[in-house]
Structure 1
Amino acid sequence: MRNTVTDEGPWLMVNYANQAWLHHQLGEEAESQAYLLKVDALMREYLSPSQEELHPEIYAEKAWTLMKFSRDKKVQAADLFQRAIRMQPDMVEWQTSYVIALVNAFKCHSKTVGPDVLEKMKIAKEHDPENLYLAALYFEACAKNGKKIKADARELARRVLRKPVSSYSGIKPLLRLFRMSVSMDEAIDLAEEALERHPDERYLKRCAALCYKMRIILQKDSPLEHSIFERAIGLFKEVISLYPYSSLKRKIALANMYGETNYSPVEADQIFEELLESDLDPEGAQMVYTYYAKYLQFIRKESHKSIEYHMKSAAIQHPSFYRETSISVLERIRNRNRNRMCEEIEEFLANLQH
């Protein structure tokens, strides 16, 4: 979802500025300067409405960029859409994107959408009836507020399946809706039907892999057919190969699936060993340490070794969700005061720079 109104216009300033930044980060200064010159040319061609305001297209494009690439800046994206809408209120696409950004901001903070946002979703859905991504989010919010949505979800599924595949076609939130509010089996069937229609779409394989993972994790007390496990493992391995530059979390998920099911704990250990030995950036290392600590605690039942890896994650001086998670775990263990490592944890936390 992005600016589809025109191929040219002030919104391109954001695109070119992003390209300039990317080339600068890659050390490609000539390419970076070329894009900066394009930005300058556009700034001369499209003068800002005032010294205080940018073009509404620029606000909208910046918002789309934040929605796509900044998980923790959904509120800022929503604010930017609001500014664009105030200046150009007839843009239905911006209204829809504003509501989606608002909903995603709530989800990032694990909050349930309130009645006011639910009403905004309903209005946006009525104004933009072909946006099935928004429709899926709306029914998901309705379900969380106690409304019965199974019939609506199944009808929406037929519409989504007829649409071209994209990250905003609605299939991902729809599958999540099915998993949580219809049934896990129907979610898997829907994912497989989508794959039958588009067998080469890597995005659908990624969505299907997530369904199988959730089936294994959320219903681990239910009997697991070997064919389900094999399909899950096969999909995950394929998705890892299709997304080689963003596969770290999926490799961890694959290891956890091996461990959770006891089909091949040796495979789980091997994956984690390879990840622990790999060359990762600080946040990547924190991610591996934190997830490995959880694996040791809940699957291998090695609590002391688990604590050691939570310490490893926390010791890396880089702010991240994973570091905060490990620190919280260590603080809970210390506060309960029932582990023989409590004194060591106390000393570690006292010396830790938050």
Structure 2
Amino acid sequence: MSVNQDSSLRENLLQLECHFTWALIKDDLDLTDVLNRLEEQIKLDLGKNEGLARTYSALAYVKFLLGFHEEALCNLMKSVKLNMECHGEEFHKTLIVTYGNLAWLNYHMKNYTECESYLKKLHKINELIPSESPSVPEVLGEKGWTFLKFSCKYYDRAKECFRKALELEPEEGEWNTGYAIALYRTEYEIFNLEDSLTIKQLRRAIDKNPDDDVLKVLLGIRLVVFKKYDEAESLVKMALERSPEHPHVMRYVGKFFRNKGCVDRSITLLKRALENVPNSCFIHHQLALSYKLKKIQLLQEGSHHAKMSKVQQIRDQCIYHLEKATSLNSSFISAMSDLALQYGERRDMSRAEELFEITFKTAKEKNDNLHVINFYYAEFQLHCLRCEALAIKHYMECLKMSPKSVEGKKSAYNLKKITEKHIHRNTVDGNTHGILGFLHREKGEKRQAIECYEKALSYADNDEYLSNLCALRLSLQ
């Protein structure tokens, strides 16, 4: 093939709608984790040809990224077969993404004749689509599901895809489901039930998909946030009665009961779910969180020797499941951070420090969840190494990076507790006032922050406090 022919072919390929053109950046993905989740989805989707076809097409792209081109080709042919079984035709619009993937894969494998054959098939499909349709709902839907499955960094893009699909087909159950899940994963800081788009969309999605018990549990989890306990319990009970062995139902029900404080029931359900999908990173992480809460509950009851032995056993279970989760997803920042903290609590300090170092490096490389690692490292410094100064530094870093996140709010709370301890013990110094100044500044309370920084400077010169003080004074002029 000449340079001009190759350039022309590549230009045509770049116009396609498929995984190869959706800017799925390899560095954003943990390919092992995505692979495990797609293979898990295939087991759960047996009998649902259209959903299974989409999953095989996504799986093929992951196999391509891993360098397994023949396996990728095999998965794409399975996707074609399932699509044709479902719709009975070679040129149905649900094949747009799969044919696009096949064109790109054959191009990379230097099968140029095959590549051009799939481009012709796509041209035929496009001729059958009404010219007034700027987008194809099936393509938008497949794109949305791909973004949801591949990385949390793409959740907002998934939400936009499903929103556009619903503009074209507002009654379609699948797009309603996808939009509800995308909203569930992206909506934060909503304080009134009436303002929650997630609640409204979950209700609409359930109305369109009355047999989807996962949606019922997700709605139950979200309703608990707004203290709608009776309705939440009713939805979860209904989902469990209808789908007692469905792994996705059980894992979210397990999360529901943990959020309610019913830890033992949560652990029982999550263990049952794990039997069906032993390589589920999500379930291992949920089990770790349940054991962590169980450990905290035991510690709150007292600390005699027998109980501390039990605490250690539970911590070991927490560590086991965190190790499993991080082995399945090597860039799972929150799980890695929590695991490092648990090592510290077990007094395995060198292992904890080593894992924190790896996690900081991973978070910086991916520019992902840096506030989370700062929070956990602050906890490690405060509770395991008793180094208050470093704990304060990293709590502040976390709060500056993400003040509205769970970790940011916990950091603010812990910084406030540190200042209250010094006030109570009558050990107030410049740093105490400096922390208070920082907290007021983060909340936008400039005058209170100025007062605190002035008090901090009365104890000792500090360039940072002086700089903050000058900046605040200027902002008030």
Q: TM-score, normalised by structure 2?
A: 0.55
Q: Deviations over 1:27-50 (max 9, x none)?
A: x98359979868844541322533
Cα distance 1:186–1:54, how it changes in 2: closer, same or farther (>3 A)?
same
Q: What are the ranges of 5 or more consecutive residues in structure 2 without an aligned counterpart?
A: 1-40, 54-81, 85-91, 303-309, 413-434, 442-448, 472-477
Give the corresponding residue for 1:235.
321
Instruction: Please report how far the alpha carbon of residue 7 of structure 1 lies from its aligned counterpart in structure 2 after TM superposition.
Output: 2.3
1:55 aligns with 2:131: no
Name the SS for the 2:346 alignment partner.
coil
Q: Which has the larger radius of gyration?
A: 2
Instruction: Please report how far the alpha carbon of residue 268 of structure 1 lies from its aligned counterpart in structure 2 after TM superposition.
Output: 3.0
1:7 aligns with 2:83: yes
Structure-2 separation of matches of 1:137 and 1:113: 17
Cα distance 1:174–1:343, how it changes in 2: closer, same or farther (>3 A)?
farther
Structure-2 separation of matches of 1:350 and 1:38: 68
Structure-1 separation of matches of 2:83 and 2:470: 56
Amino acid at match of 2:245: R
Once the two structures are superposed, the pairs formed by residues 141-290 of structure 1 within 5 Å of their partners are: 141-147=222-228, 148=230, 149-150=232-233, 152-163=235-246, 165=247, 169-181=248-260, 183-195=262-274, 197-198=275-276, 200-203=278-281, 204-216=283-295, 221-222=300-301, 225-243=311-329, 245-259=330-344, 262-264=345-347, 266=349, 267-273=351-357, 275=359, 281=365, 283=367, 286=370, 288-289=373-374
Instruction: Please report how far the alpha carbon of residue 86 of structure 1 lies from its aligned counterpart in structure 2 after TM superposition.
Output: 3.6
Aligned-pair identity in percent equals 20
Amino acid at match of 1:114: L
1:332 aligns with 2:439: yes
Are the aligned partners of 2:172 and 2:208 in contact in 1 as well (CA < 8 Å)?
no
Amino acid at match of 2:439: R
The CA RMSD measured in Å over matched residues stands at 4.6
Instruction: Please report how far the alpha carbon of residue 54 of structure 1 lies from its aligned counterpart in structure 2 after TM superposition.
Output: 1.1
Q: Deviations over 1:126-159 (max 9, x none)?
A: 3313212211111122322322233543453354
Q: What are the ranges of 5 or more consecutive residues in structure 1 without an aligned counterpart?
A: none
Higher helix share: 2
Q: Deviations over 1:198-251 (max 9, x none)?
A: 3734343343223223444687534563332221122222333333x3344322
Are the aligned partners of 1:16 and 1:38 in contact in 2 as well (CA < 8 Å)?
no
1:343 aligns with 2:429: no
Amino acid at match of 2:280: R
Structure-2 separation of matches of 1:214 and 1:314: 24
Name the SS for the 1:231 alignment partner.
helix
- Please point out which of 83, 91, 95 is paired with 2:164: 83
Are the aligned partners of 2:340 and 2:355 in contact in 1 as well (CA < 8 Å)?
yes
Once the two structures are superposed, the pairs formed by residues 33-52 of structure 1 within 5 Å of their partners are: 40-41=119-120, 43-47=122-126, 48-50=129-131
Structure-1 separation of matches of 2:244 and 2:466: 54
Amino acid at match of 1:178: F
Structure-1 separation of matches of 2:292 and 2:125: 49
